[in-house]
Amino acid sequence: MSESLVCLPKQLPKKLWVSAARIAIEINPMNRPRLERLAMLIPGFNPTPDRISVATTKYWHTKGVRLTVGFLDNPPVALRTRILSHMNAWNKRCNVRFVASNTNPQVRIARADGRNGGYWSYLGVDILSIPSDEATMNLEGFTMNTPESEFRRVVRHETGHTLGSPHEHMRRELVALIDPKKAIAFFGATQGWDPDMVRRQVLTPIEESSLFGTAHADPKSIMCYQIPGTITKNGQPIIGGLDIDALDYSFMAKIYPKPSNNGGSGIKGSSKDGAGVNAKRGGSAKASTKARAKSSSKAGGVGGWRGRATRRGARASKAGTKSGAKRSM
């Protein structure tokens, strides 16, 4: 990997936005957007189904998340084990667990290049809307020869997306480095976004657009490195964090709390056991999505993400959701 890749936004096709939002709210009612606050922050806000859907967060339940993981290109066992160990780095402080499975895995990892290449993952419960024979995460070119630092930076970042956390790189001083014209052209070509959507998703600082969360983004967050050099004024990518930092762990532990000593989890309604979001995947994406949503919705709810979920709240009201990948570290 001599070339530096950056994680680019990865979102569902627009035709799935509304149904995916319904699934997210079924799984976790706290994913429902605060429409009254959106109306206060966005003059003339019109709560259409599309705008509500992209303002919906995509976290799993709080009762202990257990997701099965499979690989689409049959990599060596040693590589599978190594990738899984980095995915489970989030388990240090959070009640989440990723386990290998060859039967209907919920998280499906590819190492594709070309059109579907790069580093990316769909966001949280959106993976339930992806057909069972398609990847939900891509780690282009990863082998046992890939540096350990890249496993920490890339695999843990993409796993953060799978857990529902969007990007955190939109501090005002970072936004100032982005060339608006280049950004509008770039995301228009790669994501199909119109100029207004790019302004809200890429060019609006978090301090102005957040609904809930910290006043400033964490520049050292593992979720911060998403801007390619092709759209910055100086031609350099905004790389961000190289590993999960203390603030990442602290906030995610509030979303996915581990059981307390007395058997509770720290959030009312959570269970001691890490019950998974396991539902059989049907022959089609639609069937598997309904089955998974029904199974998952029994598990409870989750809340927002520090600077990450906050951005999705206001800015996502008119834009597509952020989560994804392509390479630039």
Over residues 211-256, the pLDDT tens digits come to: 344 556 676 889 886 678 899 999 988 777 899 999 899 989 989 9
For residues 284 and 68, what is the distance between their CA atoms, to the nearest angstrom?
18
If one compares 212 and 144, the residue with the highest pLDDT of the two is 144
By C-alpha distance, which of 292, 269, 270 is closest to 282?
292
Of the pLDDT bands very low, low, confident and very high (cuts 50, 70, 90), residue 171 is: low
Could you give the 3-state DSSP secondary structure of residue 180? Answer: helix
- The answer on pLDDT for 72 being more than 70 is yes
pLDDT digit string (tens) for 91-100? 999 999 999 9
Angle (nearest 5°) at CA 294 between 269 and 296: 45
Alpha helices in 76-138 (DSSP H): 77-87
- The answer on pLDDT for 324 being more than 60 is no
Average pLDDT over residues 53-77: 92
Average pLDDT over residues 69-88: 97
For residues 264 and 63, what is the distance between their CA atoms, to the nearest angstrom?
10
Rounded CA Rg of the chain: 18
User: By the 8 A CB rule, do 237 and 6 touch?
Assistant: yes
Residue 325 has a pLDDT of 37
User: By the 8 A CB rule, do 194 and 43 touch?
Assistant: no
Residue 153 has a pLDDT of 93
CATH code reported for the domain at 14-315: 3.40.390.10
By C-alpha distance, which of 325, 314, 326, 329 is closest to 57?
314
- The answer on pLDDT for 276 being more than 70 is no
Residue 79 has a pLDDT of 98
Kindly list the domain boundaries of the chain, sorted by start residue. 14-315
- With tokens 């709390």, the residue in question is 257
For residues 284 and 154, what is the distance between their CA atoms, to the nearest angstrom?
30
Residue 263 has a pLDDT of 47
